[in-house]
Amino acid sequence: MTKRFFLPESELPRQWYNIQADMPTKPLPPLNPATREPVTVDDLSHIFAHECAKQELDTTHAWIDIPEPVYEMYKYYRSTPLVRAYALEQYLDTPAHIYFKNESVSPLGSHKLNSALPQCYYCKQEGVTNVTTETGAGQWGAALSYAAKVYGLECAVYQVKVSMQQKPYRSSIMRTFGAAVIGSPSMSTRAGKDIITRDPSHPGSLGTAISEAIELATTTPNCKYTLGSVLNHVAIHQSIIGLEAEKQMQMAGEYPDIVIACFGGGSNFGGLAFPFMRHNLFDGKHTQFIAAEPDSCPKLTRGEFRYDFGDSAGYTPLLPMYTLGHDFKPANIHAGGLRYHGAGVIVSQLLKDGYMQGVDIPQLETFEAATLFARTEGIIPAPESAHAIAATIREAKRCKEAGEQKTILFNLSGHGLIDMTAYDQYNNGDLVNYSYHKS
């Protein structure tokens, strides 16, 4: 039985997929909060690399060339394996076929490098010398720290304070790559100071850390802001996951009935789902797309679709998104990468139009799923990815009840080796569920 499918190097995708060009209803434009006018590429270029800004608003080109030097860096770790989870299937005694895309074996242990590399490459091309960003769990910050080093850029990372405490090793990893790491909220920005003044024990959130990083980028010469999720250009870069998976599923002789990924801002979800979704749009496929979010941070299942800021201080354009409100203070769950108030613009429109669905999962269920996955497949998953595993197990059990042989594909977006304190809490019975409270 073949367990892993790799692409021959010659089959590696040379273009990313931009679903914006193919969407029946285009996303609403981001707005300048002052003028309420749609933002332009030039507006966004104050914050981001110009090429990223272009991709962000590109609703016409479905395929975007991967720059040759980025492609060369991808070859260090891509394709990532597509794995058939026979042992998990057997344990669940399900007729479902379960596959996962194993992004955890990339350097840094997650999918985040897929976008960190092009973002830093574009910055370098455009004469930028410094990049900055926010990070929750630290997966994005670690990836950016390495990508910055690859292209000779200085890197400063605002890490959400609670994640920093939960996962101290991730800060060490970023420092090992030469990045400066600052706990957020910090006193180094106006946005951070404002929050600390109101709430000195604020645990931080992605929204706040984004504000701090944007403030640094806009007040520092030759410095650009980069983002690890939420935005359209990130989803474009992450499409490499789904494009590879599409070819690898062909090698396995199957096509997914269900595609599942965890959901923070939407990058690993979109990355895996969108290349398959185009076959729903054009080729009569009926794949079901499930985004798994924490039930304590449920923007997909309980958020409102409206214009909102992407950060807590209101530095970003207004984005048309499912949101819990940009001042939402998420519970201290261990899946730091999912502690974000809003959903990316593309996903929000697709959810509104019924092309995908959200499910919300309690923390304990995610760790139960993670432990089962570890004991069967040998890989300790990131708490974020454990949401996708839990949703997969729910579907596999449904298949068993219904006697249906469905093919499920999920994204193992990262490993959890830096998250062992969370597993300790779970193993000791100290882990709890949090419920959602509207802020």
User: Are the C-beta atoms of 204 and 184 separated by less than 8 Å?
Assistant: yes
CB of 174 to a copy of itself, least distance (A): 10
Task: Report the C-alpha gap between 306 and 364 in whole angstroms.
Answer: 31
CB of 150 to a copy of itself, least distance (A): 8
Nearer to a copy of itself, 201 or 428 (CB): 428
User: Which residues contact residue 196 at a Cβ distance below 8 angstroms, ignoring those fewer than 6 apart?
Assistant: 185, 186, 187, 202
Nearer to a copy of itself, 320 or 414 (CB): 414
Nearer to a copy of itself, 169 or 255 (CB): 169
CB of 335 to a copy of itself, least distance (A): 16
Closest CA to 274 of 10, 19, 25: 19
Task: Report the C-alpha gap between 385 and 400 in whole angstroms.
Answer: 23
C-alpha distance from residue 247 to each of 19, 201, 244, 263 (Å) = 18, 48, 5, 24
Q: Which residues pair with 323 in a beta bridge?
A: 304, 342
411: helix, coil or strand?
strand
Nearer to a copy of itself, 245 or 343 (CB): 245
Nearer to a copy of itself, 1 or 34 (CB): 1
CB of 21 to a copy of itself, least distance (A): 31
CB of 75 to a copy of itself, least distance (A): 5
Nearer to a copy of itself, 349 or 385 (CB): 385
Give the tokens for residue 196.
Answer: 């600390």
Residue in the structure block whose two tokens are 């399900």: 94
Closest CA to 362 of 265, 261, 432, 411: 432
Query: What is the amino acid identity at position 346?
Result: I
Nearer to a copy of itself, 145 or 349 (CB): 145
Closest CA to 359 of 351, 350, 349: 351
CB of 121 to a copy of itself, least distance (A): 14
202: helix, coil or strand?
coil
Beta strands in 130-266 (DSSP E): 130-135, 154-160, 180-184, 223-225, 258-262
Task: Report the C-alpha gap between 107 and 109 in whole angstroms.
Answer: 5
Q: Which residues bind a copy of itself (CB under 8 A)?
A: 1-4, 6, 9, 72, 75-77, 83, 87, 105, 107-109, 113, 146, 149-150, 168-169, 172-173, 175-178, 371, 374-375, 377-380, 417-418, 420-421, 423-424, 427
**Helices marked H in 57-186:** 68-74, 86-92, 113-125, 139-150, 161-166, 168-176
User: Are the C-beta atoms of 337 and 139 separated by less than 8 Å?
Assistant: yes
Nearer to a copy of itself, 92 or 321 (CB): 92
Query: What is the amino acid identity at position 67?
Result: P
Nearer to a copy of itself, 47 or 113 (CB): 113
Give the tokens for residue 217.
Answer: 């980028």
